[in-house]
Structure 1
Amino acid sequence: MAKTGKLNAEIKVKSDADNFWKAILDSANIFPKACSDIYKAIEVVEGNGRSVGSVRVVHFTEGSAGVKLVKEKIEEVDEAKKKVAYRMIDGDMTQYFKSFKSSVEVIPDGEGSLVKWFCEFEKASEEVPGPEMTRDLVAKNFKQIDDFLLKA
Structure 2
Amino acid sequence: MAIKGKISGEVEIKCHRHLVFELFKHKPHDTSVVDPERIAACHLVSGEWGVPGAVILWDYYHDGKKETAKEIIEEIDDELHKIVFKVIEGDILEVYNSLSFIFTTKDVGDKKFVIWTIEFEKANPSIPDPTSYMDLVCGIVGNMDSHFLNSNSDLLGFMVLKGSDCPINKYGKVESAKEIVEEVDDELHKIVFKVIEGGVLEVYNPLIITINVEDMGHKKLVIWTMEFEKVNANIPDPTPYLDLLCAVVGDMDAYFLKRP
Q: Normalising to structure 2: TM-score of the pair?
A: 0.54
1:30 CA displacement: 2.1
Gaps of 5+ in 2: 153-260
Does 1:78 pair with 2:77? yes
User: Residue type of the partner of 1:69?
Assistant: T
User: Residue type of the partner of 1:93?
Assistant: I
Q: Distance in 1 between matches of 2:49 and 2:127?
A: 30
1:111 CA displacement: 5.4
User: Residue type of the partner of 1:32?
Assistant: S
Q: Distance in 2 between matches of 1:4 and 1:139?
A: 22
Tell me the matched-pair count: 149
Match of 1:149 in 2: 148
Does 1:26 pair with 2:12? no
User: Residue type of the partner of 2:4?
Assistant: T
Identity within the alignment, %: 24
Q: Distance in 2 between matches of 1:110 and 1:32?
A: 32
Counterparts of residues 87-102 of structure 1 (less than 5 Å): 87-102=86-101
Higher relative contact order (CA 8 A, sep 6+): 1
Counterparts of residues 64-75 of structure 1 (less than 5 Å): 64-65=62-63, 66=65, 68-75=67-74
1:85 CA displacement: 0.6
1:124 CA displacement: 3.5
Gaps of 5+ in 1: none
Q: Distance in 2 between matches of 1:124 and 1:45?
A: 29
User: Residue type of the partner of 2:10?
Assistant: E
Secondary structure (helix, strand or coil) at the match of 1:25 reads helix
1:22-62 per-residue CA deviation (whole Å, 9 max, x = no partner) reads: 1221343321111100111001101113211000000114x
1:90 CA displacement: 0.3
